[in-house]
Chain A
Amino acid sequence: MRLVLVGTSHHHAPVELRERVALDGEQAAELARRLGEAVVLSTCNRTELYVAGEDADAAEAHAVAELAALEPDVERALYRLRDQAAVLHLFRVAAGLDSLVPGEGEILGQVRAAHELGTPGYLLDRVFRQALHAGRKVRAQTAIGESPASVSSAAAALAEQVFGSLEGRRILLIGAGKVGEQASRSLRSRGAEIVLAANSRTDRDALEAELARADVVVSSTSSRGLVLDAATVERTRSGRQRLFVDLAVPRDLDPAIHGLDGCYLYDIDDLEAIVSETLAGRRGESARAEAIVAVEAEKFHEWHASLDVVPAIASLRARAEEIREAELRKADGALGRLDDSQRRAVESLTAQIVNKLLHLPTIRMKQAAVSADGVIYAEAVRHLFGLGEDER
Chain B
Amino acid sequence: MAELLFWPALLLYGEAAVGYFGDARRPGSAGRAATWGVRLGWLVQTALLVLQAVREDGFPWSTWAGSLNLFVWLVVGAYLIWGCRGAYRLLGLAVMPLAAALLVVARAGGGTSAGARAGSPDSTAFLVLHVGLVLAAFAGFTLAAALSALYLWQERRLKRRAATILRRPAPSLATLDRLAARTVAVSLPALTLGIVVGLVRLVARGDRVDALVVATAVTWLVWCAYLGLRLAGWSGRRAAYVALAGFVLVVLVRLALPVSHFT
Taking beta carbons and an 8 Å cutoff, which residues of A are in contact with B? 143, 147-148, 154, 157-158, 160-164, 239, 241, 258, 261-262, 264, 266, 270, 273-274, 276-278, 281
Which of A157, A241, A261, A270 contacts B161 (CB under 8 A)? Answer: A270
Q: How many residues of B contact A (CB 8 A)?
A: 21
A162 — nearest CB in chain B belongs to which residue?
Answer: B173
A-B contacts, 30 of them at CB < 8 A, read: A147-B166, A147-B167, A148-B166, A154-B166, A158-B165, A160-B172, A161-B158, A161-B166, A161-B170, A162-B158, A162-B174, A164-B171, A164-B172, A164-B174, A164-B175, A239-B233, A241-B174, A258-B161, A261-B236, A261-B237, A262-B236, A264-B159, A266-B161, A270-B161, A273-B163, A274-B163, A274-B166, A277-B163, A278-B166, A278-B167
Q: State how many angstroms separate the Cβ of B26 from the closest Cβ of chain A.
A: 9
From known contacts A239-B235, A262-B236, infer whether A161 and B165 are also in contact, taking CB-CB under 8 Å: yes
Taking beta carbons and an 8 Å cutoff, which residues of B are in contact with A? 27-28, 154, 158-159, 161, 163-167, 170-175, 233, 235-237
Contacts of A157 in B (CB 8 A): 166
Q: How long is the Cα–Cα vector from A381 to B237 in the complex, in angstroms?
A: 79
How many A-B contacts if CB must be within 8 Å? 57
Q: State how many angstroms separate the Cβ of B138 from the closest Cβ of chain A.
A: 28
9 cross-chain pairs, A with B, having the tightest CB-CB distances, nearest first: A164-B172, A277-B163, A273-B163, A164-B175, A270-B161, A164-B174, A264-B158, A281-B167, A163-B174
Contacts of B165 in A (CB 8 A): 158, 161, 274
Secondary structure dominating the interface of A = helix
Q: How long is the Cα–Cα vector from A261 to B158 in the complex, in angstroms?
A: 12
Which of B167, B170, B171, B236 contacts A241 (CB under 8 A)? Answer: B236
Q: How long is the Cα–Cα vector from A281 to B167 in the complex, in angstroms?
A: 7
Q: State how many angstroms separate the Cβ of A148 from the closest Cβ of chain B.
A: 6
A277 and B171 contact, CB distance less than 8 A: no
Which of A143, A148, A241, A258 contacts B173 (CB under 8 A)? Answer: A241
Q: State how many angstroms separate the Cβ of B236 from the closest Cβ of chain A.
A: 6
Q: State how many angstroms separate the Cβ of A304 from the closest Cβ of chain B.
A: 33
A258 and B159 contact, CB distance less than 8 A: yes
A161 and B172 contact, CB distance less than 8 A: yes
Q: How long is the Cα–Cα vector from A262 to B172 in the complex, in angstroms?
A: 13
B174 and A143 contact, CB distance less than 8 A: no
Q: How long is the Cα–Cα vector from A163 to B27 in the complex, in angstroms?
A: 22
